[in-house]
Structure 1
């Protein structure tokens, strides 16, 4: 009898431990969504300070409309991710993990993270920044379609099941996104809303692909090492490859080095890029860590709550805090943001399971 009691106690203790581990993973995932909202707000503010205020204001540098829309959007992403990489490498150094960083680079999981970073950084992050600069926080819920896209890609690439519940969640997300787009077009939205919505969809595609690729490595690499690899790859790829390519397409190959130099020497802006980089570091590290604790689907879902936190933080910090006009959302956009968060949750987990009482 004593052995049976001991085994039963051990089983209960194990279930309690696993349950606590799962809840902690969900909490970390939700924090990643909130910190991404902070990142969005501080990044948008950084791109109004210093030399950026001239580029987007009087434009005394004489930048073309192509450079203003595309190059500066990618530049903002590159500067932010570089600052985020500095935070990540600094924390890894403080914890004595820099050796692990360099060793992991030459492993299969490390290379997978670098591939994921290319999809989620130069492509998705740049599109997100372009959308944010063009259309404001209205694009945030649309870009949060990435869990829905990740679920569809998981079905296509990995033959993962796509249940009726997941299809329902995808339908809710797509419908909410469509409502945001329709209301913005018919409600007298700002001039760049069309470009912003297209950029948001590209961002969602990029992050959906990143989630599928990075899902392989999240449980195999320390989250602090993973995010250091991710942000370093993204920042360097933006500055060394992506921005020069945009400059060549725009017909002025030398412009990229000129604007990069001006951006990194603009003190008033770099202060806020350092803040947005810290928030991005916390967000992506929490996303990777949360995914390793709860699974990729729920990790993407909890991170996807930035569909609500993004507009909320932009409204509070930029609209209320700094008094910048244009960051408020209509009631229909708020409703759609909440619907998006619900749809993301339905994709990842059966809500009825969350309501069931724990078994003894």
Structure 2
């Protein structure tokens, strides 16, 4: 009887380990998929900002907009349109899952407040900086923005006294070297005008998203991840649309009325909104998979897997914009591809000891 019990216990333990292993691997797959979807979000967003009324705004031969308006106000507006579309997808998903009531209930809680704070940092600040950098320098800024896990590790040490050991410091160093390799291409004579400034602005996005990751980590540990995503997207979209775009309209344009007119034109431009709807969907799926992956394989490894968008971003932009869109200037030099892969390696080193993955496999 005792031997039979031990045999049953051994089978139960083996089954539990197998289940945990499958759950862990599924989490990695979901987190990796989030990086791919972020790449398509970047590509579709850029494509949307080249169609319809946007093509007229950015055309120097026909546009009546100033350079500052075209650079910063339109960048904020593009981010706002994308985030509003993403928020609509998130609200629709929450309604489908029967979680709309939970969404409004969680907004009033402390974790919900933390998610709102994270969205304000990652939306109006980081997302707009990312879009502006993307418009100024192209897909070369994507690996720069992917520095956010490295920045998140540093900020986690400063704000929450989280561990920052030698292995993590090595990973941060690898990421910094990779970013310098990417930035070196903007110094060459073939670099387009404004590329260096675009890369510097992309660093703001990396800083904002790194800080957002620290803040949102607390919120998502206490509320449903799908609710957290919905709060994040709705807050980001509305704050971009009703705060940042009008503010830029006052600073760079002719006031709130000027910004409102651009908003109406942007949302009524059918050829562009088709691609914004796709970019919003990809952004929503990316964040949803990121949060779900983090809960299944751990936040550190999940962030590392999501950080693969440093490769998928330039790749998807090249496929969607360069190959299918027929746009010139989206092919990247070999050093950028190598640096993007190097940065993925650095992010992985920050998140986890690569040797541990092989040890777990052997066990």
**Structure 1 unaligned residues grouped into runs of 5+:** none
For the pair 1:313 / 2:316, whether they are aligned, the reply is: yes
CA RMSD of aligned residues (A): 1.3
**Aligned residue for 2:354?**
351
The 2-side partners of 1:108 and 1:99 are apart by 17
**Aligned residue for 1:209?**
211
Matches within 5 A, 1:9-48: 9-48=11-50
For the pair 1:255 / 2:258, whether they are aligned, the reply is: yes
Distance 1:357 1:159, change over 3 A: closer
For the pair 1:96 / 2:66, whether they are aligned, the reply is: no
Contact 1:305 1:341 in 2 (8 A): yes
Secondary structure in 2 matching 1:191: coil
Contact 2:186 2:196 in 1 (8 A): no
TM value normalised by structure 2: 0.96
**Structure 2 unaligned residues grouped into runs of 5+:** none
The 1-side partners of 2:77 and 2:298 are apart by 33
**Aligned residue for 1:266?**
269
**Aligned residue for 1:304?**
307
The 1-side partners of 2:168 and 2:253 are apart by 45
Which of 203, 226, 229 is the matching residue for 1:227?
Answer: 229
Secondary structure in 2 matching 1:161: coil
Listed one character per residue, the Cα deviations across residues 52-78 of structure 1 (whole Å, up to 9, x for unaligned) are 000001464511111111010010000
**Aligned residue for 1:132?**
134
Listed one character per residue, the Cα deviations across residues 313-342 of structure 1 (whole Å, up to 9, x for unaligned) are 000111011110011100001100000111
**Aligned residue for 2:280?**
277
Contact 1:84 1:281 in 2 (8 A): yes
Matches within 5 A, 1:107-122: 107-122=109-124
Distance 1:247 1:297, change over 3 A: same
**Aligned residue for 1:290?**
293
Distance 1:357 1:157, change over 3 A: closer
Secondary structure in 2 matching 1:177: helix
Q: Give the stretch that moved more between structures: 67-76 or 108-117.
A: 108-117
Distance 1:288 1:73, change over 3 A: same
Contact 1:211 1:296 in 2 (8 A): no
Q: Please report how far the alpha carbon of residue 343 of structure 1 lies from its aligned counterpart in structure 2 after TM superposition.
A: 0.5
Secondary structure in 2 matching 1:184: coil
Question: How many pairs are equivalent?
Answer: 360
The 1-side partners of 2:113 and 2:177 are apart by 36
Q: Please report how far the alpha carbon of residue 227 of structure 1 lies from its aligned counterpart in structure 2 after TM superposition.
A: 1.3
TM value normalised by structure 1: 0.97
Q: Please report how far the alpha carbon of residue 291 of structure 1 lies from its aligned counterpart in structure 2 after TM superposition.
A: 1.4
Contact 1:78 1:236 in 2 (8 A): yes
Matches within 5 A, 1:1-80: 1=2, 2-58=4-60, 60-80=62-82
For the pair 1:324 / 2:335, whether they are aligned, the reply is: no
Contact 2:175 2:346 in 1 (8 A): yes
